[in-house]
Structures are given as C-alpha cells and as structure tokens.
Amino acid sequence: MIKVIMRILVVRTDFMGDAILINGAIESIKSLRKDVVIDVLATQYNKVAFEYNPYIENKYFINHRADDKVVSTDFKQVFDFSICYDLIIVFNRDLRTYKYIDKIKSKRVFGFRLGRKKFKANLFCILRLFGTRYSFMEYDTSLHEVVNTYNLLNFVFKSNLSPLRISKFFIPKSIDTNLFQVATNSVCINISGRVESGRVLSVENLTEIINDLNKDINIVLIATKEDLDRANQLLINCNGHNIRIFSGDIYQVARVISLCICYVGVDGGLTHLAAGLDCYVIGIYAPNKIKTWCPWTDRKYLVCSQDLDVNSITPKEVSQEINRIFQTFESNIDD
C-alpha cells in the first residue's frame, strides 16, 4: 500500500521576530499530522528563524524585504516550481507575498484576508474568492500574533490546537560553547534597537537600571558594533558592577542569551528569540504593542512605557523585576 504524504508550504516573509513566532505552529502541524512534509518560504532577512528548525524539509529564502514595496528579484531562481502542494498557509498579510503564491502549484491556499481599506489588496482577495483555491480568514488586531496564528491553523485543519508555551528558536550545534564564558547568575541586557522607531534604551536609563541591580548579579551587554561606544560608556557609568560586553552574529548572541538566567530587551526580534530559548524575559513595550506583540513565553515579565518611546519607562520597574527574578531563581535552587 502506498503511503500518502501531505505536502505543506508555510509562508512568512516579514521580520525575524514575527517569523520566530511561527516555529511553534510548525511543530504543532507535525504533531497533528504525522504524514506531513513541511517546506518554508521565507526571506534572506528572517532566515535565522527557520534555518535550523528540524521540522522543516525544504527552505526557500528569497530577497524580499518587509519594510519596502519591492518584489523579490530572485524568487524564480530560488523556488522549486516542480512541487505541487496540498496546502499553502500564508501567515503574514502582504500583497507581494500572495503574488508569489499565485505562481506556485497547489490545491488549496489559506491565509489572512488583506486589508479592506487598500484597493489593490482588497480586489486581490475578492477575485480569488470566486474560485475554490483560496480561503481567507479575518485577522483580529486585538489578539496576540500567536493567537491569530493558531486561529488560522484551526481554520485550516478544522482542529482545536492550543498554542505551545513557547515558539522555539533553534541554535546550530556547531556554535562554539567556549566562544564566550558567561558567569553564573548573569542577566543579558540588549542595548541595541531601532532608534527611528523609539525602540532603543538610552544610556541614562540603562545606567539607572544597572546601578539599581543587586551587586551579585553579573551583567552581559549585547551590543551591535555600532553600539560598542554606548556599551563602553556603561562600563564607566556602572563601574561597581561586573559587566561584560558581547557582540557577535545572531547565533552567537543566541548562545550567550541561552546561558543567562534572564534577558532584558525592548520590542524587537531579539526579544522573541530570547523567549524561544526558554529563559526569563523582561520585555519593554509601548502601550500599543504590549498585548499583541509581547514575547510568547510563560516566563515573561512586561514593562510598559508611558508612550511610543520606550524611554518613557520608569527604570526602577525594570531593575526591580530583574532583582525579583534572581531572588526567585536562587530560592528555587535552595529548595
């Protein structure tokens, strides 16, 4: 008897943090259907979310940016058009992405409906609904991204799946474990971020947070090369603390975070990555994002800024959460 395999293409073409949130959904599909083969269409800019995911068969990474309107120039060269998929599941709402899907052979396509206020996007969905290949569901902007993701999965499979407690991030085994020695009792603080979006903590706020920490907490500052001057300024401002600076590629950073008890960061991809490593995460979020884009883990502690600039936080709120996590962690070890 020939075993029938279901072939599914999972599509996510936006930012790294958004893509990491899909890993839990991929694992859930594998648990739901043992006979499934899952491929992924993603981008060169979010590929780290999927590159080492063991549940994925084929990975197609195209030159597509989420923050512009340019169509990928290498889609036809990268993708294997000989495959016909039983299902294509599109997890982000982007007209360019749906136009790629139009070119791929499949029996069914499921995804979120594009915005009704945009003429081209709305027209695209209306025209596709005249056939039987496409099915859309509404995206609820009041719900967390992961909840919407699982609502779509349950719509596709007519199931009752519940989200996994974390959306995993996978570190390659080849990463050198001796790359950077992390002291016990360490907190990892991401001092980088998007300046233009008001999503990077100021040196003043970081100084206040660090100087308010218990002295037995070791500190690792994660910084891009562009932020090394800020990191060195923090060494000067907080010279009573044991502080080390680390700058590396995303997998090296992930390895360092995984060795720390707690991660602190603003809204961004690295915060979702940390949640996917199952460490304690303190996420600093603006009021409009704190419920729908916070890290997906039951080990999260959220600090809300007063407005869209994360520097409107009260630094003491962050330091108190860090101190509390370490006190809880130490008491659990003693027990």
DSSP of 12-27: --S-HHHHHTTHHHHH
The pLDDT, as a whole number, for residue 1 is 44
Q: Enter the tokens of residue 172.
A: 């390659």
CB 107 within 8 A of CB 84: yes
Residues 6+ apart with CB under 8 A from 333: none
pLDDT (tens digit per residue) in 216-240: 999 999 999 999 999 999 999 999 8
The pLDDT, as a whole number, for residue 4 is 63
pTM: 0.93
**Domains by residue range for the chain, with CATH:** 6-157 (3.40.50.2000), 186-334 (3.40.50.2000)
CB 242 within 8 A of CB 183: yes
CB 109 within 8 A of CB 133: yes
What string of H, E and C letters represents the secondary structure of 283-322? EEECCCCCCCCCCCCCCEEEEECCCCCHHHCCHHHHHHHH
The pLDDT, as a whole number, for residue 3 is 58
pLDDT (tens digit per residue) in 294-328: 999 999 999 999 998 899 999 999 999 999 999 98
CB 91 within 8 A of CB 25: yes
Q: Which residue, among 26, 65, 71, has the nearest Cα to 42 in the 3D structure?
A: 65
Q: How many CB atoms lie within 10 A of CB 74?
A: 13
User: Distance of CA 7 to CAs 19, 98, 157, 323, Å?
Assistant: 20, 19, 14, 48
User: Distance of CA 58 to CAs 41, 50, 63, 228, Å?
Assistant: 9, 10, 17, 37
Tens of each residue's pLDDT in the chain, 335 residues: 455 689 999 999 999 999 999 999 999 999 998 899 999 999 999 999 999 999 999 999 999 999 888 999 999 999 999 999 999 999 999 999 999 999 999 999 999 999 878 899 899 999 999 989 999 999 999 999 999 999 999 999 999 999 999 999 999 988 876 777 888 899 999 999 877 666 899 999 999 999 999 999 999 999 999 999 999 999 999 998 999 999 989 999 999 999 999 999 999 999 999 999 999 999 999 999 999 999 999 999 999 999 988 999 999 999 999 999 999 887 665 55
